[in-house]
Amino acid sequence: MNSVFRKARKYSILPMFDEILKTFSRWFNDYRKEAGSVSTAKKLVPLVENIMHDRCQVASKLVVSEVNSYTLEYYVNDRGIHHTVSLSRKSCICNRFDIDKYPCVHAIAAVIALMRCEDRSADIHFHDLCSKYYLMETWLLAYCRSIYSVPHISLWNIPEDVTEIIVKPPNKKENKGRNQETRFPSSQERRRRRRRKKTSNKDRPNQDLGDWTRSQNIDSGDSDGDDDIDGDYDSDSDSDDSDGEPTQEKGV
């Protein structure tokens, strides 16, 4: 925020607040239009939906075994480690589900396994397991109000008893020289220029999380649970032959 209002900080109090109001009004308008451009059929904000869509690619290959169909508890085998997932409590032993407040890769695998069963006791969708702060409705409500600038002083309706009050400036000893605008760095401190990280809260077209819970898009053959849980992984990893010898690349 200091870099955004670098020039405004040099203004006096009222012009500085006017500049802050204009900036926030512009931001709210941009975010309002961005949120309104997303399809109304989507339940989650683009950031969470994109993360969960990437995790679904890994979750569809994990081995899931049902522990209790009434409490919706499952065992998910991920690289030989069994993770206990409770969909009713929105919890996983890896704690990512508990902290992030949206399903981890193990919880997503449990949801896919649940929706694949024909005799399931309940229907659970991905947005049902997310916090309300990740819903599109909450995102739209966050920027529904408009921020207006303060009108000119000539348009103010000030009571007479207020105009009669004379406010004198405080007694202050003026310092010599220019005002210091930046702080002095501490000893052995090196200033680092931080690059602004661009947000990934952008909608991906033609992407639907509901496709992963439909039976025709679930790969029930390869479920060895040897993939990474983050979604940032290389899906074209090298594989081994049945005799243990590494495969030879074509053309070599």
Residue 162 lies in a domain: no
The whole domain housing 116 covers: 46-142+207-213
Q: Which residue has the higher pLDDT, 247 or 46?
A: 46
Residue 60 lies in a domain: yes
Residues 6+ apart with CB under 8 A from 67: 73, 74, 75, 84
Residue 124 lies in a domain: yes
Residue 24 lies in a domain: no
Report residue 205 as tokens.
């077209």
User: 46-59 and 105-116 helices cross at what angle (nearest 10)?
Assistant: 70
Residue 106 lies in a domain: yes
Residue 4 lies in a domain: no
Section 81-89 average pLDDT:
92
Residue 148 lies in a domain: no
Residue 86 lies in a domain: yes
Residues 6+ apart with CB under 8 A from 211: 217
Report residue 161 as tokens.
């008893």
pLDDT(173) > 50: yes
Percent of the chain with pLDDT over 90: 27
> What pLDDT sits at residue 119?
78
> What pLDDT sits at residue 220?
43
For residue 18, the one-letter residue type is D
- Please tell me the total count of domains within the chain: 1
